[in-house]
Amino acid sequence: MNMHVQAAEAAVSISNLSKTYDTGFEALKNVSLDIRKGEIFALLGPNGAGKTTLIGTVCGLVNPTSGQILVGGHDVVADFRKSRALIGLVPQELTGDRFETVWATVSFTRGLFGKPRNDAVIEKILKDLSLWDKRNEKLITLSGGMKRRVLIAKALSHEPEILFLDEPTAGVDVELRRDMWRVVRELRERGVTIILTTHYIEEAEEMADRIGVISKGEIILVEEKTELMTKLGKKDLTIQLQEPIATLPATLTAIGLRLNGDGTELIHTYDSQADRTGIATLMAAVSAEGLSVKDLSTSQSSLEDIFIGLLRDRA
Ligand SMILES: Nc1ncnc2c1ncn2[C@@H]1O[C@H](COP(=O)(O)OP(=O)(O)OP(=O)(O)O)[C@@H](O)[C@H]1O
Ligand SMILES: [Mg+2]
């Protein structure tokens, strides 16, 4: 695929973006990143890495110091209204017009983006987010979790093509998290592009098509989730023994086996990309020690292990 086609297909195209705040702090350093139409992209990174700043520049809330951002082909600075109309943003921080009702605030937000009134759309959004019963209540009376639902409803009110979710599930209960991921999956099925930041790596693992990792204002990795997991992942081969053993024979330690806590399993960790011819040797050594094997299984390291390893390597 040539570069031109790729650029045309991108929902968001970020090139050489840098942001230095007035304090002199360099929050983004020469970031280039394309978000594909229709994908779920998870941006992972520790506190202060620049995730919210990056989202802010794309949504026109933070002025870039240099570089360019196109949303649906529109420059976010020169063509702010057109680019912003394509975007829904669920911000990390709760803010808001506290004396409005739920219905009014969500419906009004749709109007702000120049979309004609559509009560059916607002009704569906409120129902999807279990806010329908609260539609006539003032925001100030709602709990934190309910307010967060309202933020999501507002972000969806103008039926955006691109949705940013900045730490959407930080501090929310299980029910809201479930509602949210159901809504996100539905949106994705309708072709909406979704970019989320999260500290819950299991969430990225479950939801994302691609993962980007940001650290100290730099994108240090962008990869298909499945690729990332096979490339960087380790696998554990677990050999379950018929009978527990008290100590591991030296010959088995020598070839990289470990014994689990209750002596019932031998574990061997290997690179998931490496070939597996070593396994026959392992099994032969196990049987040479007179141990009978009950079962064999392999398991892959989680994204969390990969992520922690990656940041540690750069520290
Ligand atoms: N308005 C600002 N002025 C000066 N520095 C800022 C400003 N906003 C953010 N920063 C700094 O820029 C860096 C990146 O902040 P940002 O909020 O983008 O990080 P983040 O990755 O979203 O972190 P978190 O996971 O805590 O939400 C931080 O060091 C922060 O202190
Ligand atoms: Mg943030």
Helix (H) or strand (E) holding 68: strand 66-71
Q: Which CATH architecture has domain 233-314?
A: 2-Layer Sandwich (3.30)
| pLDDT class of 116 with cuts at 50, 70, 90 | very high
Give the CA count within 13 Å in the CB-facing half-sphere of 58.
Answer: 32
For the segment 119-176, what is each residue's pLDDT rounded down to a tens digit? 999 999 999 999 999 999 999 999 888 888 899 999 999 999 999 999 887 777 888 8
2 — pLDDT class (breaks 50, 70, 90): very low
1 CB-contact burial (10 Å; exposed 0-12 / middle 13-18 / buried 19+):
exposed
d(CA 187, CA 192): 5
* φ/ψ (deg, to 5) at 152: -65, -45
- Which regions of the chain carry the CATH code 3.40.50.300? 3-229
- Kindly state if the Cβ of 95 falls inside 6 Å of ligand 1: no
User: Looking at the chain, which residues constitute the CATH 3.30.70 domain(s)?
Assistant: 233-314
Taking alpha carbons only, the member of 66, 42, 15, 52 closest to residue 217 is 52
Ligand index nearest the alpha carbon of residue 44: 1
Q: What's the N-to-C CA distance of the chain in angstroms? A: 35
- Ligand 1 atom closest to residue 45's alpha carbon, by position in its atom list: 21
| Ligand 1 lined by 25 (C-beta under 6 Å) | yes
Ligand 1 contacts CB of residue 51 (under 6 A): yes
- State the architecture of 3-229 in CATH terms: 3-Layer(aba) Sandwich (3.40)
160 lines ligand 1 (CB under 6 A): no
- Ligand 1 pocket residue status of 84, Cβ below 6 Å: no
CA pair distance 161, 85, nearest whole angstrom: 9
Name the residue at shortest CA distance from atom 8 of ligand 1: 53
Q: Which residues contact 255 (CB under 8 A, 6 or more apart)?
A: 281, 282, 285
pTM of the complete model: 0.79
